[in-house]
Structure 1
């Protein structure tokens, strides 16, 4: 192996905020410790001012994300891709403002339709959706599941993956079946903020050492993430941008080369159709 050539190191889920946070500087920090590729998730549009009332309000956050993703690609030895969608907690924000769960559902599905336009044009790689990770009433839960199932329909129509923000746990067979019912391949459903074992979707493992070891030892498809928030009021939350490259080095030192090939090359290709070797400089 050419020791001067970087090996693919992908953070599958982080946020870069070019307005309020560090933006491209966080991508530079990631690259400085060996990171090569990023999947950049949009922050909710209300982080950029204003509430969500129509399709155009979603575009604000999407456009900021596309801009910082393009500029991050310029500082990486690999590249960055945007993943766009609607954070499931929006439903609570909307119902607190007086929307019915059904009205909130419809608006969130509109936001996903807008995100899918960017996927269809090639500007975004995948969609994100999910359901609340906290206790909600039955009407909100039902509406949230409808939003998520709409994302699966869009994933099938646009031949793309869907990243999910959901409650914790390991058993998501039913959710993966909903995706299959919509015409998606189950492995293209990605459980963001996952532990080392997940049944149903492909796990994107939050890069805690113990959970990474569980994933590595399982020998199954998985990816690694930080869920870096890029919020100046919460520096380092959830994990900092250096974490995935540093955990990758640590796993390599533990002898998990095969698992790293799975996490950074094989699984991204299987889920998203991207080639993290070919996209290295």
Structure 2
């Protein structure tokens, strides 16, 4: 296949060497021209971890870090871990395990504190937080927002980005303002699974052609992702690991070269402080 002359970053996917394709998925990505990955830890309960305190998350984070190290042996660029607490944990704690919303908030904030230790040590690049994308009670919603605001405080302290899992929306201006109030730059707040336009944070756009066309037309900063879940029981879930390099080839064919530069070089540099050209060894 014709060699791509640009770095190609998938900003948000999961890798599971136990229950999924693991490094074989990374090989698929690299063989199509992919170069860089941001690997987000799976929800803690997918690893069999029913957390009650921050230390319970360490096994989840360390598995992700080990998987990134294995991915680095395959990629022509490199991968970085993004660590945090999936916002759906609040429902698992409250509805299935009998926690009150404030107790669930405390567990999740402690998990973020644990993730922040890895960022501080240079072992992870960014944090992951957010709030449920489905209907919840007012008390759970408020607890979730407090968790997210805690993530912003940590992001400000560490000068790192925070990826968010939230409801589907094209306006998260209020959330970006919360981040700024905590001391973060709004560009370092990244909404994963974004549509083609977004007010407030930086959008990490799902790599479907219509969404990418809207993002390219805007000329605004954006990233590209698949949210590949790497679950053998859900082999077609979300988008596969070949998708981002395939979409980059399509974008270049559509003469959207500027948008490719924005998504794979400029925005990663401005949001995460990573240089996808300098870290490309091929």
TM-score (norm 2): 0.97
1:124-172 Cα distance to aligned partner (Å, 9 max, x none): 0000000000000000000000000000000000000000000001010
Q: Distance in 2 between matches of 1:269 and 1:76?
A: 19
User: Contact between 1:18 and 1:64, CA under 8 Å: does it hold in 2?
Assistant: no
1:24-63 correspondence runs (5 A) = 24-63=23-62
Q: Distance in 2 between matches of 1:50 and 1:118?
A: 19
Give the secondary structure class of the aligned counterpart of 1:164: strand
1:67-94 Cα distance to aligned partner (Å, 9 max, x none): 0001101100000000000000000000
Q: Distance in 1 between matches of 2:110 and 2:213?
A: 39
Q: Distance in 1 between matches of 2:18 and 2:71?
A: 14
RMSD over equivalenced CA pairs, Å: 1.0
Partner of 2:141: 141
Instruction: Flag structure 2 segments of 5+ consecutive residues without an equivalent.
Output: none
Partner of 1:175: 175
Partner of 1:192: 192
Report the CA distance between 1:236 and its aligned residue.
2.9
Partner of 1:278: 278
Q: Distance in 2 between matches of 1:153 and 1:205?
A: 25
Q: Distance in 2 between matches of 1:32 and 1:244?
A: 12
Partner of 1:17: 16
User: Contact between 2:44 and 2:85, CA under 8 Å: does it hold in 1?
Assistant: no
Q: Distance in 1 between matches of 2:235 and 2:5?
A: 27
Partner of 2:230: 230
Report the CA distance between 1:4 and its aligned residue.
5.8
Partner of 1:208: 208
1:67-78 correspondence runs (5 A) = 67-78=66-77
Instruction: Flag structure 1 segments of 5+ consecutive residues without an equivalent.
Output: none
Give the secondary structure class of the aligned counterpart of 2:205: strand
User: Contact between 2:3 and 2:33, CA under 8 Å: does it hold in 1?
Assistant: no
List 4+ stretches of structure 1 deviating above 2 A. 3-6
Report the CA distance between 1:51 and its aligned residue.
1.2
Report the CA distance between 1:49 and its aligned residue.
1.6
Q: In the superposition, relative to structure 1, how do residues 5 and 215 fare at CA in structure 2: closer, same or farther (>3 Å)?
A: closer
User: Contact between 1:6 and 1:34, CA under 8 Å: does it hold in 2?
Assistant: no
Q: Distance in 1 between matches of 2:246 and 2:4?
A: 17
1:188-221 Cα distance to aligned partner (Å, 9 max, x none): 0001000000000000000010000000111100
Q: Distance in 1 between matches of 2:175 and 2:160?
A: 16
Partner of 1:221: 221
TM-score (norm 1): 0.98
Report the CA distance between 1:5 and its aligned residue.
7.1
Q: Distance in 1 between matches of 2:171 and 2:62?
A: 34
Q: Distance in 1 between matches of 2:57 and 2:76?
A: 30
User: Contact between 2:7 and 2:265, CA under 8 Å: does it hold in 1?
Assistant: yes
User: Contact between 1:9 and 1:36, CA under 8 Å: does it hold in 2?
Assistant: yes
Partner of 1:85: 84
